[in-house]
């Protein structure tokens, strides 16, 4: 892969088929701890962790009774490569939206995260949000750089970093 400017990047709203493709991408190219909350049990992509990954996204995004965020499958040149999300923080019409992105290892560091973040910022503005927030950790240099690049203010407390950008 070359730079992101040479790649076609498409964000597709998550549905069941896209969720299956997202799981395949996660298993093939990401560490579970990078893409879902920690859970008990042996490390790695065990069948239980794969099921928990599916359940996590169904609960947070696909089930209308429990959904709290919009998630997109990120495709790079037609291949499932990661996920992006926007979550209104205090209910569906909140002015503050929390963003998250993960990409498979093989596509990191080519400017794709930056382009995906631009799409998320545009979606947040289009949705009427006034503030864009995100969290990462001090040791996540790529995420910190990505967030700094948006013009967000970064607040470091211990190992955690909270970013906030007025839209
Ligand atoms: C964080 C993540 C989404 C960034 O996406 P990416 O495509 O790798 O990032 P980009 O190539 O667009 O680079 C964005 C900026 O970070 C810098 N960067 C990229 N990788 C870096 C690294 N390993 N160390 C330091 N800086 C890095 C780039 O130079 C660029 O900065 P610039 O605009 O000043 O040149 C991606 O690395 C990832 O999915 N990581 C695992 C999951 C994760 O940590 N998600 C974020 C949680 S908040």
Does ligand 1 have an atom closer than 6 angstroms to the CB of 114?
yes
Give residue 1's pLDDT.
62
Work out which ligand 1 atom sits closest to the CA atom of 149: 33
150 is a domain residue: yes
2 is a domain residue: no
Kindly give the parts of the chain with pLDDT less than 50: none
Give residue 94's pLDDT.
65
Does ligand 1 have an atom closer than 6 angstroms to the CB of 85?
no
Q: Are 24 and 80 within 8 A, CB to CB?
A: yes
Does ligand 1 have an atom closer than 6 angstroms to the CB of 143?
yes
pLDDT 10s digits, 85-118: 999 997 666 699 999 999 999 999 999 999 999 9
**Nearest CA residue ID for atom 18, ligand 1:** 142
Does ligand 1 have an atom closer than 6 angstroms to the CB of 146?
yes
Work out which ligand 1 atom sits closest to the CA atom of 103: 39
Domain containing 59 — which CATH number?
3.40.630.30
Q: Are 81 and 75 within 8 A, CB to CB?
A: yes
Q: State the residue range of the domain holding 98.
A: 8-166
Give the Cα separation of 78 and 82 in Å (integer). 12
3 is a domain residue: no
Does ligand 1 have an atom closer than 6 angstroms to the CB of 151?
no
- The number of domains in the chain is 1
144 is a domain residue: yes
CB atoms within 10 A of CB 23: 18
Give Dmax over CA atoms of the chain in angstroms.
42
Give the Cα separation of 142 and 3 in Å (integer). 16
Work out which ligand 1 atom sits closest to the CA atom of 112: 7
Give residue 3's pLDDT.
66
129 is a domain residue: yes
């Amino acid at each position: 892969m070359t730079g992101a400017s040479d790649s076609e990047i498409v964000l597709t709203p998550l549905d069941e088929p896209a969720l299956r493709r997202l799981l395949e991408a996660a298993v093939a190219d990401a560490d579970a701890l990078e893409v879902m909350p920690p859970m008990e049990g042996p490390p790695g992509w065990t069948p239980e962790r794969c099921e928990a990954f599916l359940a996590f996204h169904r609960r947070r995004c696909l089930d209308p009774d429990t959904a709290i965020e919009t998630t997109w499958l990120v495709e790079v040149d037609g291949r499932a490569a990661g996920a992006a999300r926007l979550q209104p923080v205090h209910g569906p019409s909140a002015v503050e939206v929390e963003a998250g992105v993960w990409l498979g290892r093989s596509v990191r560091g080519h400017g794709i995260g930056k382009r995906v973040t631009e799409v998320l910022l545009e979606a947040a503005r289009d949705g009427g949000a006034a503030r864009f927030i995100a969290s990462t950790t001090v040791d996540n240099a790529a995420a910190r750089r990505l967030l700094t690049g948006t013009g967000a203010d970064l607040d470091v407390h211990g190992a955690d970093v909270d970013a906030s950008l007025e839209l």
